[in-house]
Amino acid sequence: MATVDLQLPPTAHGYDIRIEPGLLDSLGEMVREVAPHHKAALIVDEAIEVDVGKPAAKSLQNEGFETTVAVMTPTEKKKTLGTVRSLYEVLLEARIERRSPVIALGGGITGDTAGFVAASYLRGVPFIQCPTTLLAMVDASVGGKTGVNTTHGKNLIGAFHQPHRVIIDVSTLESLPERELRCGLAECVKHGVIRDPGLFTWIGEHADRILQLDHGTLVELVERNVRIKAAVVEEDEKESGVRAHLNFGHTFAHAIEAASAYGRIKHGEAVALGMVAATRMAIAMKICHPSLEHQVVDLLEALGLPTWEDDLPVTALLMKVMAIDKKVADSRIRFVLPTKLGEVIITSDPTPELVAEAWDSLRVDPRA
């Protein structure tokens, strides 16, 4: 089994991230080790309720947890305080207590929403992440960001609430639609650009094995990404500095998602578009060699991710929504821009004209 330890300062707690196919068979045991109690709440993604949720609930029951199951529909439109409120009701009805673990089983939407429930219910209960999408395995389940969307923007309401353990069973990816698998690869490319040129190259070389769901390759992919994310979170848990590097591409991505009313463009796809726009902006500012654009575009295209989109909301709307980004400081948008493969900086230098140009460039097929 691959294990990554994430260590936090003494006031917070560290935790381990376990990666292996078949790990959910011993879910009950692994939850008991870090959050022993006689009750548990399992919040499960409706897509996997029967095939993964039911055996998971059984495993918890076999380990002595009186288990309450809540099923959620994971869409960005429903990643809201309304859903959080209905989950509180389920937990209250079941008399879930302060020491009862809340377990998220699903993709990033389920994890972010259930995590915010765990952060706020009774002022915070133990939380376990069991991600079942590639995106949640390599990114969303690690690091303690939890929260929900508003019409103003993505993840604007939330809390940092670190999980007690992250349990990654890569065999759950067998039922994941290929489009979702590709979305997860967008966050992997992000990790390569911000920290690890070797990973960037490795992803391109192993794309076929990844898409064929070769277990060994998947474990290596997840472990390499989780190591990068854990190292950044250990350095800056609450995003007062370098953690913002994990937001590369997201200033654009979140604006696309919110301005299009959380419609047809998925988070991973929006991140792919956002990374292209941010890279172009860095090149226009002459802080990065022009060849990086081709490297990023070529890899994203090879992975079947979008690098342009002719049906984006109008630029004026995207710019307006972008101004509500959480990284805004003193009313200035802060961008994460690459300086070379493996390195990024945070800057508020881009002029509105440069930002608008980057948006407009996304409407044009780079191959045309």
Ligand X SMILES: O=C(O)C(=O)C[C@@H](O)[C@H](O)[C@H](O)COP(=O)(O)O
Catalytically active residues are 123, 145, 187, 229, 239, 243, 247, 250, 254, 267
| 187: contact with ligand X by CB under 6 A | yes
Quickly tell me which residue has 């509500």 as its tokens: 324
Minimum CB separation of residue 313 from ligand NAD in Å reads 18
- Annotated ligand binding at 133? The verdict is yes
| 250: contact with ligand X by CB under 6 A | yes
Residue 259 CA from chain centroid, whole number: 19
- Annotated ligand binding at 266? The verdict is no
Strands 145-150 and 153-160: antiparallel
Q: Which amino acid belongs to residue 128?
A: I
* Contact stretch for ligand X (CB under 6 A) within 16-24, 54-62, 243-251, 284-292: 243-251
In degrees, rounded to 5, the angle at the alpha carbon of residue 150 between the alpha carbons of residues 241 and 239 is 10
Residue among 164, 243, 266, 280 that touches ligand X (CB under 6 A): 243
Residue among 20, 63, 76, 139 that touches ligand X (CB under 6 A): 139
Q: Which amino acid belongs to residue 73?
A: T
Please give the DSSP secondary-structure letter assigned to residue 10. Answer: T
Q: How many residues bind ligand X (CB under 6 A)?
A: 12
Quickly tell me which residue has 């409706």 as its tokens: 46
Please provide the DSSP assignment of 202-255 as one string.
HHHHHHHHHHTT-HHHHHHHHHHHHHHHHHHHHH-TT-SSGGGGGGTTHHHHHH
Q: Is 79 helix (H, G, I), strand (E, B) or coil?
A: coil
- Annotated ligand binding at 187? The verdict is yes
Please give the DSSP secondary-structure letter assigned to residue 363. Answer: T
| 137: contact with ligand X by CB under 6 A | no
Minimum CB separation of residue 225 from ligand NAD in Å reads 11
* C-alpha to C-alpha distance for 38 and 101, rounded to whole angstroms: 10
Torsion angle defined by CA atoms of residues 346, 352, 355 and 361, in that order, rounded to the nearest 10 degrees: -160
- Annotated ligand binding at 286? The verdict is no
Residue ranges binding ligand NAD (CB under 6 A): 45, 47-48, 74, 76, 79, 106-110, 112, 132-133, 135-136, 139-140, 143, 145, 154-155, 172, 175-176, 180, 183, 267-268
Closest residue to ligand X, judged by C-beta, is 155
* C-alpha to C-alpha distance for 304 and 306, rounded to whole angstroms: 7
* C-alpha to C-alpha distance for 86 and 114, rounded to whole angstroms: 11
| 129: contact with ligand X by CB under 6 A | no
- Annotated ligand binding at 132? The verdict is yes
133 touches which of ligand X, ligand NAD, none (CB within 5 to 8 A by kind)?
Answer: ligand NAD
- Annotated ligand binding at 54? The verdict is no
Minimum CB separation of residue 244 from ligand NAD in Å reads 13
| Feature table: binding site for NAD(+) | 132-133, 145, 154
| Feature table: binding site for Zn(2+) | 187, 250, 267
| Feature table: binding site | 132-133, 145, 154, 187, 250, 267
Q: Which residues bind ligand X (CB under 6 A)?
A: 139, 143, 145, 154-155, 187, 239, 243, 246-247, 250, 326
